[in-house]
């Protein structure tokens, strides 16, 4: 009997999920309390407004309210697809976002790899400060700086053109230059901040990998290619997936502030159209229909790109 009882594996009593949750809360209640404020903010400003998206299927009337307004089904969506302006909005938004993703994605990686190779501490800290500081400049100030620099009369570019005897060009009034101005000014503003994420990933690389590469006689470029890049690849994939998932949700403020009647053919995107339709023209149902479709497209893109990233690299936003 003693031998049989000794051979039996010990059974660990199962603990219910509710009991584990109570135990975890009693041990880490301060962390849960710290999470409460952002969770409430997320619920109030993100999830509660989603309920009011029902006005996309109603003929919204301010007097009747959201739930008292008449149902119209998908009439607003049909009007949206029948509007020839809508497809120009989709094209402008997609091209601008795609340009931003393709141009901005490698810049922080290159900057982080370059900073990681710098051994002179003062120079490294100076470069980090200079590239990181623009992130804290507000969008309004950045647009004001762009307008002042590119002004055809008083801007820096106009003086450079005049110095070389070239006719002054109003770049802000040329629709062909809008995407370049938007994207590269955005890269200047955010590249340093994004590089910090990759620098953190580089700091977590096992030093033995560098020692092995040095023993094998690897050069600096070979070390970057075979050690640094594979190590930060999971982080880069997650950032790329999130960027592609928001490809149709490019920022409203900067595009709106850089708009003028001369560049409207390329600067009018979905976000600015929703603002003008919903708030300026008070067509809330139509604006909600456009915004709802845009959000659904972003969600589908996020799921598809995350699935592809998981299949190709094994890394993704979620399992």
Under 8 Å between Cβ of 175 and 266: yes
Residues 153 and 158: their CA atoms lie apart, in Å, by 6
CA-wise closest residue to 185 among 156, 241, 144? 144
- According to the model, what pLDDT value does residue 27 have? 87
Collapse the DSSP code of 66 into the 3-class scheme (helix H, G, I; strand E, B; otherwise coil) and give the result: strand
**Residue 226 belongs to a domain with what CATH number?**
1.10.3720.10
Instruction: Note the pLDDT tens digit of each residue in 32-71.
Output: 888 898 999 999 988 888 888 899 999 988 888 888 889 9
Indicate whether this model's pTM tops 0.85: no
Would residue 210 count as lying in a domain? yes
Assess whether pLDDT exceeds 90 at residue 189: yes
Collapse the DSSP code of 316 into the 3-class scheme (helix H, G, I; strand E, B; otherwise coil) and give the result: coil
- According to the model, what pLDDT value does residue 57 have? 93
Assess whether pLDDT exceeds 70 at residue 9: no
Assess whether pLDDT exceeds 90 at residue 23: no
Residue ranges of the alpha helices (H) in the chain?
2-7, 17-27, 29-42, 48-51, 75-82, 84-104, 106-117, 121-132, 139-150, 156-163, 175-203, 207-215, 220-223, 229-245, 252-258, 264-267, 270-275, 284-313
What's the total number of domains in the chain?
Answer: 1
pLDDT confidence of 304, banded at 50, 70, 90?
confident
Residues 263 and 269: their CA atoms lie apart, in Å, by 12
What does the pLDDT average to over 184-191?
A: 93
Mean model confidence pLDDT for the chain = 86
Q: What is the H or E stretch that residue 61 is in?
A: strand 58-61
Lowest-pLDDT range of 160-164, 181-185, 272-276: 160-164
Residues 207 and 190: their CA atoms lie apart, in Å, by 29
- According to the model, what pLDDT value does residue 120 have? 83
What does the pLDDT average to over 148-173?
A: 79
Would residue 137 count as lying in a domain? yes
pLDDT confidence of 114, banded at 50, 70, 90?
very high
pLDDT confidence of 8, banded at 50, 70, 90?
low
What does the pLDDT average to over 222-241?
A: 89
Would residue 49 count as lying in a domain? no
Q: Which residues have C-beta within 8 Å of that of residue 55, sequence separation ≥ 6? A: 66, 69, 284, 285, 288
- According to the model, what pLDDT value does residue 268 have? 92
Would residue 32 count as lying in a domain? no
- According to the model, what pLDDT value does residue 15 have? 62
Assess whether pLDDT exceeds 60 at residue 238: yes
- Quote the domain boundaries for residue 219: 75-313
Assess whether pLDDT exceeds 60 at residue 4: no
Would residue 219 count as lying in a domain? yes
Residues 189 and 179: their CA atoms lie apart, in Å, by 15
Residues 1 and 71: their CA atoms lie apart, in Å, by 75
Assess whether pLDDT exceeds 80 at residue 316: no
Structure tokens at 55: 């006005």
Residues 242 and 104: their CA atoms lie apart, in Å, by 13
Under 8 Å between Cβ of 265 and 175: yes
């Amino acid at each position: 009997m003693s031998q049989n009882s000794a051979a039996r594996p010990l059974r660990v009593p199962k603990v219910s999920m509710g009991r584990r949750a109570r135990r975890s809360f009693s041990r880490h209640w301060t962390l849960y309390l710290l999470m409460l404020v952002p969770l409430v903010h997320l619920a109030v400003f993100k999830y509660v407004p989603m309920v009011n998206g029902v006005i996309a299927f109603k003929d919204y009337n301010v007097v009747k309210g959201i739930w008292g307004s008449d149902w119209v089904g998908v009439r607003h969506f049909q009007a949206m697809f029948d509007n020839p302006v809508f497809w120009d909005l989709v094209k402008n938004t997609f091209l601008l976002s795609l340009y931003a993703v393709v141009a901005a994605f490698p810049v922080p990686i290159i900057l982080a790899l370059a900073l990681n190779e710098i051994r002179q501490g003062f120079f490294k800290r100076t470069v980090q400060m200079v590239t990181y500081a623009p992130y804290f400049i507000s969008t309004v100030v950045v647009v004001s700086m762009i307008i002042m620099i590119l002004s055809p009369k008083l801007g820096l570019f106009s003086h450079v053109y005049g110095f070389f005897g070239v006719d002054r060009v109003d770049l802000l009034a040329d629709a062909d230059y809008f995407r370049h101005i938007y994207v590269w000014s955005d890269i200047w503003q955010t590249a340093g901040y994004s590089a910090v994420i990759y620098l953190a990933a580089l700091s977590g690389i096992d030093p033995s990998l560098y020692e092995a590469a040095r023993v094998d006689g690897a050069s600096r470029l070979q070390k970057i290619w075979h050690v640094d890049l594979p190590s930060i690849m999971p982080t880069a994939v997650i950032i790329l997936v999130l960027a592609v998932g928001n490809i149709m949700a490019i920022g409203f403020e900067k595009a709106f502030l850089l708009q003028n009647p001369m560049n409207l053919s390329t600067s009018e995107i979905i976000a600015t159209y929703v603002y003008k339709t919903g708030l300026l023209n008070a067509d809330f149902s139509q604006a909600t229909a456009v915004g709802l479709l845009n959000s659904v497209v972003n969600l589908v893109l996020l799921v598809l790109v995350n699935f592809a990233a998981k299949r190709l690299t094994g890394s993704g936003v979620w399992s």
